[in-house]
Amino acid sequence: MKKYKVQLSEYGTVASRADIEIYAKNEDEAMNIAVKMAEEGNDLIKFEDEKCIDGWEYQAEDVEESK
C-alpha cells in the first residue's frame, strides 16, 4: 500500500444572521433601513457566528504520493 497526501476543501453557503426591530412606514422601507444600518456598521446589529446554511460539501483538490 502507498501513502498519499491529499488536499481537501470544505465549502458551502455561509451566513451570519441578526434580528433587529425597525420602525418604518412599510416592509420595503424597513428592509432598506436595516441594510443601510448593517453597511454602516451600526452597533445595534449583532450578527451570530457564521454557520453553513445548506450543509458542507467536500472536494479533493490535489493528491500526490508521499515518500
Q: What is the mean pLDDT of residues 45-57?
A: 88
The whole-chain average pLDDT of the chain stands at 91
Per-residue model confidence (pLDDT) at position 4: 94
Question: Which residues touch 16 (CB under 8 Å, ≥6 apart)?
Answer: 47, 48, 49, 50, 51
Q: What is the mean pLDDT of residues 31-43?
A: 93
